[in-house]
Amino acid sequence: MAAMGAPLASFAAPQTGRRTGPKRVAVGGIRIECSTYTPILTRMEDFTVSRGQALADVPFFSMLKKYPYRFQPTLLADAVPGGAVEASTYQKLKSEFLDRVNALLPLDGLYLAMHGAMSVEGMQDGDGDWIASAREVVGKDCLITASFDLHGSLSRRIIDNLDMLSAYRTAPHLDREQTTQRACNMLVRCLDQHIRPTMVWSPIPVLMPGERSSTRYQPAKRLWAQLPAVNAHPGVLDASLLVGYVWADEPKCTASAVLTGTQPAVLRKYVLSLAQQYWDARKEFQFGVPTGPLDEVIEKAVSLQPHPVVISDSGDNPTAGGTDDRADVLAALLKRHVRNVVIAGICDKPATDACYRVSVGRTLPLSIGATLDPKASKPVHANARVRFLSHMDDPLGRQAVIETAGVSVVLTERRRPFHHIYDFTSLGLDPAKFKMIVVKAGYLEPEINKIANPNLMALSGGAVDQDIIHLSNYHRIPSYPFQPNLKWKPFAVVSARSPQQT
Ligand SMILES: [Zn+2]
């Protein structure tokens, strides 16, 4: 229970105008990260939507049952990162969420599980729209807390409609549940003690891909490491730093420092300090592993004796919003006659379907890749032998393992990452036995990172190209590194709902 020990302000904290009786709280939200550099929209079928009791039963939220108040479930929509959310899909999800919240009124508290990097077709600041709409329904007396991914971006609209916020402190994200606990502990504490907290935010005009701002490496490691100590100061309820999201061309996309608490002067002091430190470190953010153009990375991997070398196909990483359909790495491997490699995976429904039409062991001609965004990349044409077919009712969608010229490829019906050893073994693949493993990823998640010997990152093309300096920018505010000589001094924004001003 991370933030529960932080001492409160010595002065009488501002009081909420709460009604008496048992507290009524609810939970819901939408979590997706959207690249605006892909034309592929995220549609209803791409979301996993949990409603009512099914949301209450989601294992991730089981910790909510430990609180003294029952968190009434509304609607939670989750999706693998992708392109902007289709406008009609967003409106349907939002309306149902708001109807479900409305049916629970009056509410004393609302917990919103958000990512913070949602783009919606034809709209700026989708997360701000969702949160402001929730505020309109629950009214001004309800306290709203939110959890954010540290790759989320904040806006004035978001800040002005929330009362408190907690963001992940690790990338890769190892503290998802702790972050939910921080956000909900804070809500329960404020409800119990009749506190209306203050939020102080400093937007920092720096944008880095997650691969250059992992908390495994400096300078992010030291910047984030200080947050628990800042959180422990009297008057601070939560301290969060957010990297923001670079592959969305929206004005809100920046890094942020944001503190929640009861002593505005203290919050202001630390938020300005964190923002200044982040700004001062902006030129230090670097990739944590060796990187290079795709051809160079493959050459290096071939020359290395140890195995398995894990190559991150970073430009097509679905967990950052990549399309997940590109076959560039397969083409490069076949051209060099590299063998004993597994590529996990390539999303290609037609090729997957073709494999299911024949049996395991059969060879068939396939066109592999470039089915979701045919303008952005080219397919590979090859004769391939079907090695494995997953169960038809696999919740991740059907998956086929094929082999062509010594390269095994996992074809998937749906976009998905490969983060765990089980993701391979469940398809009859032993990842440790391959000379090379290619994953569509940026930084590696812990299990794959553990077997990487070593990890090399290919700066490959795609919707989440690491070559961010060449991204087209029409809506973004001036920020580093797009304006390398930008001058900036940190400033603090106090949220409109805060009872006191600095
Ligand atoms: Zn993230």
Per-residue pLDDT of the chain (502 residues; tens, 9 = 90+): 333 333 343 333 444 555 667 899 999 999 999 999 998 899 999 999 999 999 999 999 999 999 999 999 999 999 999 999 999 999 999 999 999 999 999 999 999 999 999 999 999 999 999 999 999 999 999 999 999 999 999 999 999 999 999 999 999 999 999 999 999 999 999 999 999 999 999 999 999 999 999 999 999 999 999 999 999 999 999 999 999 999 999 999 999 999 999 999 999 999 999 999 999 999 999 998 999 999 999 999 999 999 999 999 999 999 988 999 999 999 999 999 999 999 999 999 999 999 999 999 999 999 999 999 999 999 999 999 999 999 877 777 899 999 999 999 999 999 999 999 999 999 999 999 999 999 999 989 999 999 999 999 999 999 999 989 888 889 999 999 999 999 999 999 999 998 865 4
Ligand 1 midpoint to CA 357 (Å): 37
Give CA–CA dist 82/36, Å, rounded: 9
Ramachandran angles phi, psi of 303, nearest 5°: -80, -15
Ligand 1 midpoint to CA 245 (Å): 9
Nearest to 347 by CA among 94, 107, 80, 120: 80
Nearest to 271 by CA among 255, 256, 282, 283: 256
Ligand 1 midpoint to CA 309 (Å): 24
Burial of 313 (0-12, 13-18, 19+ CB in 10 A): buried
Ligand 1 midpoint to CA 149 (Å): 5
Ramachandran angles phi, psi of 367, nearest 5°: -105, 120
Give CA–CA dist 77/89, Å, rounded: 11
Ramachandran angles phi, psi of 211, nearest 5°: -70, -20
Ligand 1 midpoint to CA 32 (Å): 10
**Which is it for strands 309-313 and 380-389: parallel, antiparallel or unpaired?**
unpaired
Nearest 5°: CA angle at 262, between 260 and 264? Answer: 80
Ligand 1 midpoint to CA 17 (Å): 36
Ligand 1 midpoint to CA 287 (Å): 16
Under 8 Å between Cβ of 32 and 118: yes
Ligand 1 midpoint to CA 224 (Å): 14
Ligand 1 midpoint to CA 276 (Å): 22
Give CA–CA dist 280/316, Å, rounded: 31
Ligand 1 midpoint to CA 113 (Å): 13
How many CB atoms are closer than 10 A to CB 479?
A: 21
Ligand 1 midpoint to CA 150 (Å): 6
Ligand 1 midpoint to CA 244 (Å): 9
When computed from its CA atoms, the radius of gyration of the chain, rounded to whole angstroms, is: 23
Burial of 136 (0-12, 13-18, 19+ CB in 10 A): exposed
Ligand 1 midpoint to CA 44 (Å): 22
Ligand 1 midpoint to CA 141 (Å): 31
Residue 395 has what pLDDT? 76
Residues around ion ligand 1, judged by CB within 5 A, are 149, 151
**Which is it for strands 291-292 and 399-404: parallel, antiparallel or unpaired?**
unpaired
Residue 19 has what pLDDT? 60
What amino acid is encoded at 29 in this protein? G
Ligand 1 midpoint to CA 133 (Å): 24
**Which is it for strands 198-204 and 255-261: parallel, antiparallel or unpaired?**
antiparallel
Ramachandran angles phi, psi of 312, nearest 5°: -90, 120
Ligand 1 midpoint to CA 152 (Å): 7
What amino acid is encoded at 223 in this protein? L
> Would you state the structure tokens that stand for residue 177, as one six-digit string?
């549940």
Ligand 1 midpoint to CA 19 (Å): 37
Torsion of CA 225, 229, 235, 237, to 10 degrees: 50
Check whether the bond before 490 is cis (ω within 30° of 0).
no
Under 8 Å between Cβ of 145 and 111: yes
Ligand 1 midpoint to CA 151 (Å): 5
Ligand 1 midpoint to CA 172 (Å): 7
Give CA–CA dist 294/417, Å, rounded: 20
pTM exceeds 0.85 for this model:
yes
Ligand 1 midpoint to CA 167 (Å): 10
Residue 61 CB-half CA count within 13 A: 25
